[in-house]
Amino acid sequence: MKGDSPREAAFEVLRAVSADDAYANLAMPAALRRHELRGRDAALATELGYGALRGQGSYDAVIAACVTRPIEDLDPPLLDALRLGAHQLLATRVPPHAAVSTTVNLVRRHVNEGAARLANAVLRRIGERDLDGWAAELAPARDADLTGYLAFRHAHPLWIVRALHDALGGDDAELEAALRADNEPAGVTLAVRPGRGTVDELVESGARPTRWSPYGAVVESGSPARLAAVREGRAGVQDEGSQLVALALAAAPVEPPDERWLDLCAGPGGKAALLAGLLTQTGGRLLAVEQHEHRARLVAQALAGDLGEHEVLVADATQPNWPEADFDRVLLDAPCTGLGALRRRPEARWRRRPADVAGLRRLQSGLLRSALWSVRPGGLVAYVTCSPHLAETVTVVDDVLAGRSDVERIDARPYLPGVPDLGDGPDVQLWPHRHGTDAMYLALLRRTE
């Protein structure tokens, strides 16, 4: 039915994520186009789909308490529909009768009548309590096990809650604020390509300037593709935190020459486009390295139209095929768990596993050694991750620098001018709940010899 199109779209996204390992941020726009949803209907579909995915672990615990069989034995389409219904009942203002009836109709259409009857019974049981009531029944007591309680109440795996707690220095109040922020929808932030676009143009099209990046603007509603600057490649989607760490590398002083910059893991190309635009103004040259060909093509697309010198190279950055000490500045935005962008990737928290960290840490360490090998004495390396996990951030830098006397860690905070709450330094950790950005980490390192 046309009136159920938002829920149909949300359900299709849940099915794509569950059955096909799809990425919700790619599946949702496609579903909105299929159902020709815009405005409020598109916003409803997005909230229902993303919300059900974010809350999946907690909703599954609630569903499990309301059925007489293991939820793994439920038909997968039925389980996804129940997740959608649970989200409406426990986390939205959708009237309970509407949440139940629309979900039962979904199950009737996509599974069968028997499953619809089961869904009706389960959802009515779910609706007997609010989320705090279910937390009181299913989660550890807050006073006895705070991280366990918060993991359920704010729908994060326990290992991620503990990692965030550690990264926040054990501050309980900040931990809860960080978890809440992960569950708030992130706005769409754009970055203009220096020399190709202006923030004023974006503002004239209805965006508002970002707080700290001079190249950023936030699109309050609608698709960014409606803006001519985005369609023509003069601006692209890029979180303000991502802009700030790249700009910090460009702003920190380096003794001349300052002509050759390297982006070591350049895909999908947002930071490369920002750096290339800055270099074009000074006559420098950027080498953008990306191991995977499909991501290298995205980098080339982001750089298309830049008037300066740049090259995209498909290569393994842990095995550099360029001369040692060949670059004045090196950006290493290392592959990571992505725990700093959970608000943008609703399913990611349930896909990641603690074991992922160790493998990524080995890669991050190898890449950082390559970055330091590639930069000349006196030059700078920016080590960046979109994760606040200490095993991917400060301790990676600590371990790589241990026993080395040819690298100094410099205070990165002055190169994010105006940004508050940056801690004691020298490294910078941004946070969604403090700064409204993704949780980007930055360490600035100078090779001294």
Q: According to the annotation, is 290 in a ligand binding site?
A: yes
Q: According to the annotation, is 119 in a ligand binding site?
A: no
SS3 state at 384: strand
185, exposed or middle or buried, with CB in 10 Å at 0-12, 13-18, 19+? Answer: middle
Structure tokens at 90: 């426990």
Quote the pLDDT of residue 4: 86
Q: What is the pLDDT of residues 84-113, one digit of tens each?
A: 999 999 999 999 999 999 999 999 999 999
Q: What is the pLDDT of residues 13-45, one digit of tens each?
A: 999 999 999 999 999 999 999 999 998 999 999
* Catalytic residue chosen out of the listed positions 94, 249, 302, 386: 386
Strands 235-237 and 188-192: antiparallel
How many helical (H) and strand (E) elements, i.e. helices and strands, does the chain have? 20, 12
Taking CA atoms, 1 is separated from 86, 109, 120, 436, in Å, by 21, 10, 19, 38
Q: According to the annotation, is 425 in a ligand binding site?
A: no
CA-to-CA distance for 29 and 248, rounded, in angstroms? 33
Q: According to the annotation, is 267 in a ligand binding site?
A: yes
Structure tokens at 100: 């139940």
Q: Please give the CATH superfamily to which domain 240-447 belongs.
A: Vaccinia Virus protein VP39 (3.40.50.150)
- Tokens 């010198």 correspond to 309
pTM above 0.85, yes or no: yes
Quote the pLDDT of residue 164: 98
Quote the pLDDT of residue 220: 84
Q: Does the pLDDT at position 336 exceed 50?
A: yes
Q: Is 66 one of the catalytic residues?
A: no
Give the architecture (CATH level 2) of 5-131: Orthogonal Bundle (1.10)
CA-to-CA distance for 320 and 359, rounded, in angstroms? 20
Other Cβ atoms within 10 Å of 146 Cβ, number: 16
Q: According to the annotation, is 316 in a ligand binding site?
A: yes
Quote the pLDDT of residue 225: 87
Q: According to the annotation, is 269 in a ligand binding site?
A: yes
Taking CA atoms, 159 is separated from 154, 155, 429, in Å, by 13, 12, 20
Indicate where the chain has its CATH 1.10.940.10 domain(s): 5-131
Other Cβ atoms within 10 Å of 251 Cβ, number: 15
Q: According to the annotation, is 114 in a ligand binding site?
A: no
Buried b (16+ CB within 10 A) or exposed e, 55-84: bbebbbbbbeebbeeebeebeebbbbbbbb
DSSP state of 422: -
The residues pairing with 188 across neighbouring beta strands, listed in sequence order, are 219
Quote the pLDDT of residue 3: 52
Greater model confidence, 224 or 448: 448
Mean pLDDT score of the chain: 96
* Ranges of H-type helices in 112-171: 113-126, 131-138, 146-153, 158-167
Taking CA atoms, 404 is separated from 320, 372, 377, 447, in Å, by 20, 11, 14, 10
Q: According to the annotation, is 266 in a ligand binding site?
A: yes
Indicate where the chain has its CATH 3.40.50.150 domain(s): 240-447
Q: According to the annotation, is 133 in a ligand binding site?
A: no
Q: According to the annotation, is 75 in a ligand binding site?
A: no
Q: What is the pLDDT of residues 370-409, one digit of tens each?
A: 999 999 999 999 999 999 999 999 999 999 999 899 999 9
- 3-state helix, strand, coil split of the chain in percent (to 5) is 50, 15, 35
Q: What is the pLDDT of residues 238-258, one digit of tens each?
A: 999 999 999 999 999 999 999
DSSP state of 225: G
Average pLDDT over residues 287-291: 97
